A and B are shown apart, each in its own frame.
Chain A
Amino acid sequence: MSHYTVAFAGNPNTGKSTLFNLLTGMRQHTGNWAGKTVITAEGEFSHNGHKYQAVDLPGTYSLYSNSADEEAARDYIIFEQPDVTLVVLDATSLERNLNLALQVLEITGRAVVCINLIDEARRLGIEINLKAISKRLGVPVVAISARNKIGISALLDQVERVATGAFTAKPLHITYNDEIEKGIAQLLPMVEQTIGSKYPARWIALRLLDGDDSLLTSLKGNIGRKTMSGTKEVISHGVTAYD
C-alpha cells in the first residue's frame, strides 16, 4: 500500500480543520483565534487503497513570515515537502484566499486547491468557475462543503492523482517586473549552488530579494539537518521530525 503525506494549508476560518477532522476522524478541539493551531495536528485517512498521513498546518493568510504560524506552515511545505499540499480556500472570500494559493504554487506544483464552503457561496449567489480557476492555476481545483460532506470523494480523487504523479501540474508561473526578474536571475545560480536542487530556488531567491531574514535562518538550520541524514523516506513514516 502506498503511503503519502498531505499538508492542509489555508487561511484562518476556511473550514480547514473541519475538513481535516472529517477525513481523519480526529476530534481535537480547534479554535479560530490566532495561535490556536500552532502545533500541527496529524492524522491518517485512506482512499482507494492509498494511505495518507494528513498534517494540519496553522491557518495563515500568507507564508511570508509575519508570525510563528506562517513560518511553521512555510517551513513544513519547503523542508518536509509533503506529497500533496491541499490549499483550502473560502469560497465566499476567494480574492484574499487566492493570495495564499499563489504563494503555495510558487513553492510547489504538487498541490490541490480545494474551495470550501461552496454551499455557503451558492446561498450568497456567488458563482465560481472552477474550470477557469483550475486552468489559470495549473493544478486541480475542487469545490466542496466540508460541513455538509459535499464533494469530498471528488477531492480525494484529485489528491490521489497529484500524490501518485498521475497528474503533472504546470503551476502558474508569476513573472515579476524587470527589476525583480533581473534580481532573481542574478541570485538564482548562487541559491542553486548553495542549497542544491531540493528546494524551490526561484522562490527562495524572491524571498531573499524581499529581505526575509527568518527564511534564511530556517534554511541554515535545515540545510545542516539534511546533509546529516539523507534518508527523508524513513522519517516521513514516523512522527514528523519537526519542531
Chain B
Amino acid sequence: MTGTSIPLSEAVNGSMLRISGIEVQGVLRRRLLDLGFVVGNVVEVLRRSPLGDPTAFRISNTTIALRREESSLIYGECIGGGDS
C-alpha cells in the first residue's frame, strides 16, 4: 500500500496521503505551498463535487478544494483511510 505515489486526483474519498511531490509551477505552486501542500504533509481526501470536480481536501486543519488541473499534479503515498 505504501511506496507508490499517486496523483491526489486519483485518490479515493476518505483516504489519507502523505505528499511526496508537487509539480504545479509558478504562482500557484507558491500558493499551494503556503496553504500546506508541502512534501511530507498529510492530506485527507474529503469528498468530490457532484460532477467529480473539484475535490475537497483537508490539510493543516483546513478544507481546501482543488480542481483536477492542480490535484493531478500533486502526488502522495496512501497511508490509510478510504475503501481501497
Contacts and interface: CB of A to CB of B under 8 A. Distances in A.
A61 interface: yes
B30 A66 contact: yes
A66 B27 contact: yes
B8 to A, nearest CB: 18
Contacts of A64: 30, 34
Contact of B36 (A66, A92, A95): A95
Contacts of B62: 93, 96
A162 B52 CA distance: 51
Given A95-B36, A96-B35, A96-B36, A62 B30 contact: yes
Interface residues of B, number: 9
B30 A93 contact: no
Given A61-B34, A61-B35, 6 more contacts: A62-B30, A64-B34, A95-B36, A96-B34, A96-B36, A96-B62
21 contacts: A61-B34, A61-B35, A62-B30, A62-B31, A62-B34, A64-B34, A65-B27, A66-B27, A66-B31, A66-B34, A92-B61, A93-B60, A93-B61, A93-B62, A95-B36, A95-B60, A96-B34, A96-B35, A96-B36, A96-B60, A96-B61
